Amino acid sequence: MKAKFTDTVLKKILLENLINLKFDFMTPIQEKSLPLILQGKDVIAQAKTGSGKTAAFGLGILNDLNLSISSIQAMILCPTRELAEQVAKELRRLARTLPNVKILTICGGASKKVQEKSLAAGAHIVVGTPGRVLHHLNTNSFELSYLKIFALDEADKMLDMGFNSDILEISEYLPKKRQSLLFSATFPDDIKVLSKRIQKNATEIKIDITHNKSNIKQLFYELEPSTDKNDLLYKVLNKYKPERLIVFCNTKKESNDIANFLINRKIFAKCINGDLEQNERIEVLTKFSNKSLSVLVATDVVARGLDIEDLPTVLNYSLPHSPEAYIHRIGRTGRAGKKGMVFSFFDQHEQDKLSEIEGLTLKPCKLEEVSELIGFDKYSLVPPMKTIYISGGKKDKLRPGDIVGALIGEAKLDSKDIGDISIHNVFSYVAIKNNRIEDAISGLSTGKIKKRKFKVGLA
């Protein structure tokens, strides 16, 4: 029988919010780790992306907060800006019923001075990337004498990216008496060494890192030396016509080239890689999440932590360097019991990679014939939504209800014309159905939101 959150010692105010969020039963990682976290024990846990681990350590952190003081009581380190933003977003959702919880994201790509001011104003939880967090610690932007919980999310990815020394240096700033939580998709030797350095008598938990085989259909295409990969990509899209997909590749150049290839064929695509500024990354991910963008071409910078609802398809333009990375890529689809499809391209020199994938997934790689794919010149893929930009956000105390009210009242839209709303500190994004986008921009440009005028345009 599945365990419920009500079986734990979580505070009533958090349990009430979980009921509203329809979080009834715990996932396996939550069931095994949350009770230990609530007891104050150090935990080292292995679980796949999308297993619910953020809620596991997040609820433990929120349950332990002392809201009467505005000091940092928990720090969470993540390998990428995208994952840090995702974790902070989930924490805010879990903390909705807690009064005045302040959660800061401290990552590269944003102004250090703005971050310093935010830290000086006080916060309860910091979510950040190792490099930027270490910078602020070295420049005395904040201190951690009240810190009680230190968590590492996707720890193996951080070590792969060379953050081991940064993590150890950060740990020197932390109180000796603390709870340390380490979550990782894999348990290589260096993870175990890191655990011994920063944890005390940690309880080890392992959850199956593979995905539900029945949910995800995986097809593999072997490329001959003469095969045009872009042409093959186009033919796969033409045959299966997914509404949205992520195309994974291994280099920044590949991501740019693929996106340009698709755009030139009237397929709404954008690439995301390490060259984009933070605001650009936020905009691209927001558009993809709210169905204003059909294809996201990505390097592995977004393979972990990216949470896109109802994503039907993933395509591996190039196989990743490890079978574990393959598992994380395909984990973007087939979530929450939904069906998913994964297409992968490989050449004759990558047979070993296929064997490793089969060994990890315990499932044979199903090979498809390239000759069975037929392309059509006039194929296109247009998203059902477009995104508008509003020059106001959390600092203007804008809420989703305020924006919906203005779109209905000022722009005369119906609620069914309005998609996801994403509110940031000084700006907001709103998805609008294609046929009502001009009405939305015109209505909000001449009208008001909360009795105030804001600049509005197409993102």
Task: Report pLDDT digits (tens) over 112-171.
Answer: 999 999 999 999 999 999 999 999 999 999 999 999 999 999 898 888 888 999 999 999
* d(C-alpha 231, C-alpha 413), whole Å: 40
Per-residue pLDDT, 232: 93
DSSP 116-169: HHHHHH--SEEEE-HHHHHHHHHTTS---TT--EEEESSHHHHHHTT-HHHHHH
Q: Which of 314, 346, 354 is nearest to 331 (CA)?
A: 314
* d(C-alpha 31, C-alpha 47), whole Å: 12
Across the chain, mean pLDDT equals 89
296 Cβ contact list (under 8 Å, min separation 6): 244, 245, 246, 247, 269, 270, 271, 272, 284, 285, 288, 302
Per-residue pLDDT, 384: 93
Q: How far is CA 32 from the centre of its chain?
A: 23
A 10 A CB-CB count for 37 gives: 26
Q: Is the pLDDT of residue 391 over 70?
A: yes
Per-residue pLDDT, 301: 67
Per-residue pLDDT, 402: 92
Question: What share of the chain in percent tops pLDDT 90?
Answer: 60
CATH code, residues 385-458: 3.30.70.330
Per-residue pLDDT, 328: 80
Which tokens sit at 143? 């201190």
Per-residue pLDDT, 213: 53
Residue type, 416: K
Are the C-beta atoms of 98 and 13 separated by less than 8 Å?
yes
Q: Which pLDDT band holds residue 81 (cuts at 50, 70, 90)?
A: confident
Task: Specify the CATH superfamily of domain 216-372.
Answer: P-loop containing nucleotide triphosphate hydrolases (3.40.50.300)
The ranges assigned to domains in the chain are: 5-206, 216-372, 385-458
Q: Is the pLDDT of residue 222 over 60?
A: yes
Task: Specify the CATH superfamily of domain 5-206.
Answer: P-loop containing nucleotide triphosphate hydrolases (3.40.50.300)
* d(C-alpha 378, C-alpha 374), whole Å: 12
Q: Is the pLDDT of residue 269 over 60?
A: yes
Q: Is the pLDDT of residue 408 over 70?
A: yes
Fold match between 5-206 and 216-372?
yes
Tell me how far apart the terminal alpha carbons of the chain are, to the nearest angstrom. Answer: 47
Q: How far is CA 431 from CA 69, 192, 245, 427, 450, in A?
A: 38, 44, 18, 14, 19
Q: By 3-state DSSP, what share of the chain in percent is helix, strand and coil, each rounded to 5? A: 40, 20, 40
Q: Which pLDDT band holds residue 208 (cuts at 50, 70, 90)?
A: low
